[in-house]
Amino acid sequence: MARNKKCITVNLKSERGCEIVHDLIGKSDVLLENFRPGMMEKFGLAPSRFHVSHPELVYTRVSGYGQTGPNSERPGFASACEGYGGFRYINGYPDQAPVRPNLSIGDTLAAMNAVIGTLIAIQGIAKSGKGQVVDVSIYESVFGMLEGVVPEFDGAGVIREPSGTTVTGISPTNTYVCRDNKFVVIGGNGDSIFKRLCAAMDRNDLGNDERLFDNAGRVEYQPELDSAIETWTKTMTSVEVLAALDVAGVPNGPINSVADMMKDEHFQARGMFEEVNIDGKRTLKVPAMVPKLSDTPGETRTAGPTELGASNKEIFEGLLGLSPDFIEELQRDGVI
């Protein structure tokens, strides 16, 4: 998470600290902040302060509920925002408590939206000559994933419910257990794909059943179809199932753990792992950067700072031109 980053410390409760941050912002293309809405204003660092002095600044703000609205000042944790934004409601199994994925997916989605919004704003400078504020919220980032949930409700009054390992309105697409107790994903929901799946299972009776010729019919008989598919997968190992589906041209995939991914030849061929040096004592594998660019691929140059303020001298001297004596004074006064 901290690769290639610098780490400085500044006490924003002090006037001098806020002025240092103001000077740093003046030398930056983008400011990214994720304080609770209103905090940057209290520090005297609101976007309006830079409209004249730094008109090209892109000011990206990430919060739980956005910069406006009645919930804007609520603390924005991914767990709460995933529920508020509708994701948790449809994630899990019917008649059970909603399931949390073992990741802070709301944070990651908000980060991606912040990147997208920032890049759009940077592109806009070429036309307008001005930067702008990018207002990103975690709950809206989650809400943006909901595909057809809103029009389904508005147009048909349907509330999409949790559906376990299936997807509402599409069949068959599910996760199935194999003889070796490993799970595989099978996406057999296209009309022609379904026929190929049935042939691979030696179940042409299903492939030729007129009730199952289209998705609507397969959805109606989804439990029976899933049962038939799992009866087949349980007769073979996961490797055998995936190989048979590859031959048949049916979309499929394993359920990989991190150990599986680390030894997978495709991950290796795509260079999905990099090694970084930790304090000159050991190396550690980290995910490689994506997306992959042909001319300017990203790389991990440093593992990131290991302690707060590790880059104070470099940034305050090199970027702001502060003298070593003045930096020592700021440290004594608790400003940095």
Residue 248 lies in a domain: yes
Residue 188 lies in a domain: yes
Please compute the mean of the pLDDT values over residues 29-33 and round it to a whole number. Answer: 97
Q: What is the pLDDT of residues 174-228, one digit of tens each?
A: 999 999 999 999 999 999 999 999 999 999 999 999 999 999 999 999 999 999 9
Rounded Cα distance between 28 and 59, Å, is 10
User: Domain tally for the chain?
Assistant: 1
Its domain, for residue 182, covers 173-255
Which alpha helices (H) appear in 67-104, and where do they start and end?
78-84, 87-90
Residue 179 lies in a domain: yes
Question: The domain spanning residue 250 has which CATH number?
Answer: 3.30.1540.10
Residue 180 lies in a domain: yes
Q: Given the residues 107, 180, 214, 226, select the one marked as catalytic.
A: 107
Residue type, 291: P
Residue 281 lies in a domain: no
Residue 247 lies in a domain: yes
Cα distances (Å, whole numbers) of residue 159 to 27, 174, 219, 252: 49, 21, 17, 29
The residue whose two tokens read 């257990």 is: 177
Cα distances (Å, whole numbers) of residue 315 to 12, 260, 324: 17, 41, 12
Residue 200 lies in a domain: yes
Would the pLDDT of 246 be above 90? yes
Rounded Cα distance between 132 and 57, Å, is 7
Residue 84 region by backbone torsions, left for phi larger than 0, else alpha for psi between -120 and 50, else beta = alpha
Residue type, 30: V
Confidence (pTM)? 0.91
Return contacts of 286-292, CB within 8 angstroms, 24+ apart. Answer: 286/3
Lowest model confidence (mean pLDDT) among 43-47, 77-81, 198-202, 278-282: 278-282
Residue type, 294: S
Q: What is the pLDDT of residues 266-324, one digit of tens each?
A: 999 999 999 988 877 889 899 999 999 999 998 888 888 888 999 999 999 999 999 99
Is residue 107 annotated as a catalytic residue, yes or no?
Answer: yes
3-state secondary structure 229-290: HHHHHCCCCHHHHHHHHHHHCCCEEECCCHHHHHHCHHHHHCCCEEEEEECCCEEEEEECCC
- Nearest 5°: the CA angle 15, 16, 18 is 65
Percent of the chain with pLDDT over 70: 100
Largest CA distance in the chain: 85
User: How much is the pLDDT for 45?
Assistant: 97
Residue 234 lies in a domain: yes
